[in-house]
């Protein structure tokens, strides 16, 4: 397991995950962060449903002045290892599992050995200090990178992950996580669990805006990211990707609710 300790970061922070090959969303986030004088913490899955996997990696890798920390998501780990699927944790035979074949093949065919090596070198976990508090960064889970932790997940599930993180990284006041695609926060035994959400796909709420978070002296805040979602959807269709996720960028609803716990489904 690759670990990174980033020391003290003295700047306003924007937290985000799940670019999902959505270049238009990432460009909007970068522009906003630069205007705000913020640095970025990325929880993984640069690659996903969108049209521009290689361009996203090129932009991400070239932002060393603004990206304070990034870790690998399951998709980076799978592509780096030349695996045959995304390793997203979807149940075999479900709509999400079937649709993942198309976008994963699209990304896999556009990456060379250089980018696979870059992804393999990313840390699995990271830690940093900010305004007197120490944070760990994890994608899904410590021992299962594709573990889904939802706003409605039992406290015991968060406790198990926090214990594993503190065993690997030392004492923590907070955790910044990703993978599930929904932005939320929980306080578990005094530890602040923050899922930064995903900027590359709406959070299944019927709006095309996506989500990121900011971390400052007054705590965490969640924000809607407005970007040119119509161009992103058009690029997906032009690339020959199936219409389901392109439609989702416009409708704000995921193609399937199978991965969601019952409490988070539309009914």
Alpha helices by DSSP H, the chain: 23-36, 53-61, 74-80, 95-108, 113-120, 155-169, 229-238, 243-251
Helix (H) or strand (E) holding 176, with range, is strand 174-177
In this structure, is residue 187 part of a structural domain?
A: yes
In this structure, is residue 158 part of a structural domain?
A: no
Model confidence at 97, pLDDT cuts 50, 70, 90, reads: very high
Mean pLDDT of 213-226: 94
In this structure, is residue 103 part of a structural domain?
A: yes
- Can you give the pLDDT at residue 71? 98
Whether 250 has a pLDDT exceeding 70, the answer reads yes
CA 239 to chain centre: 23
In this structure, is residue 38 part of a structural domain?
A: yes
Whether 88 has a pLDDT exceeding 90, the answer reads yes
In this structure, is residue 51 part of a structural domain?
A: yes
Mean pLDDT of 79-105: 96
In this structure, is residue 157 part of a structural domain?
A: no
Cβ-contact 71, 137 below 8 angstroms = yes
CATH number at residue 127: 3.60.21.10
In this structure, is residue 160 part of a structural domain?
A: no
Q: For the chain, how many structural domains are there in total?
A: 1
Buried b (16+ CB within 10 A) or exposed e, 183-192: bbbbeeeebb
Owning domain of residue 180: 3-150+165-264
Q: How long, in residues, is the chain? A: 267
| pTM for the model | 0.97
In this structure, is residue 155 part of a structural domain?
A: no
Model confidence at 217, pLDDT cuts 50, 70, 90, reads: confident
Whether 267 has a pLDDT exceeding 70, the answer reads no
Whether 13 has a pLDDT exceeding 70, the answer reads yes
Q: CA angle 115-5-142, nearest 5°?
A: 75
| CA dist 112 → 57, 169, 187 (Å) | 12, 32, 41
Determine phi and psi for 163, rounding to 5 degrees.
-65, -40
Whether 218 has a pLDDT exceeding 90, the answer reads no
Give the chain's end-to-end CA distance (angstroms, integer).
Answer: 40
Q: What's the chain's average pLDDT? A: 97
Mean pLDDT of 49-73: 96
């Amino acid at each position: 397991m690759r670990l990174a300790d980033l020391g003290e970061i003295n700047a306003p922070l924007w937290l985000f995950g799940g670019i999902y090959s959505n270049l238009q969303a990432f460009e909007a986030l970068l522009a906003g962060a630069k205007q705000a004088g913020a640095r970025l913490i990325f929880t993984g899955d640069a690659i996903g449903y969108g049209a521009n996997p290689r361009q996203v990696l090129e932009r991400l890798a070239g932002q060393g002045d603004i990206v304070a920390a990034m870790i690998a998501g399951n998709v980076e780990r799978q592509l780096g290892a030349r695996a045959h699927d995304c390793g997203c944790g979807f149940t075999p035979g479900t709509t999400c599992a079937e649709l993942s074949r198309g976008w994963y093949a699209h990304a896999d065919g556009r990456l060379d050995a250089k980018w696979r090596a870059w992804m393999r070198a990313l840390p699995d976990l990271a830690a940093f200090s900010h305004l007197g508090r120490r944070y760990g960064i994890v994608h899904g889970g410590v021992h299962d990178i594709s573990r889904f932790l939802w706003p409605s997940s039992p406290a015991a599930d968060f406790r198990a992950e926090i214990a594993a993180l503190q065993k690997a990284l030392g004492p923590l006041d907070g955790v910044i996580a990703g993978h599930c695609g929904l932005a939320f926060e929980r306080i578990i035994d005094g530890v602040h669990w923050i899922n930064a959400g995903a900027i590359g796909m709406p959070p299944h709420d019927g709006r095309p805006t996506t989500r990121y978070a900011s971390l400052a002296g007054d705590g965490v805040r969640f924000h809607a990211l407005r970007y040119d979602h119509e161009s992103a959807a058009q690029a997906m269709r032009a690339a020959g990707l199936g219409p389901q996720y392109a439609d989702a960028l416009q409708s704000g609803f995921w193609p399937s609710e199978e991965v969601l716990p019952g409490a988070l489904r539309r009914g």
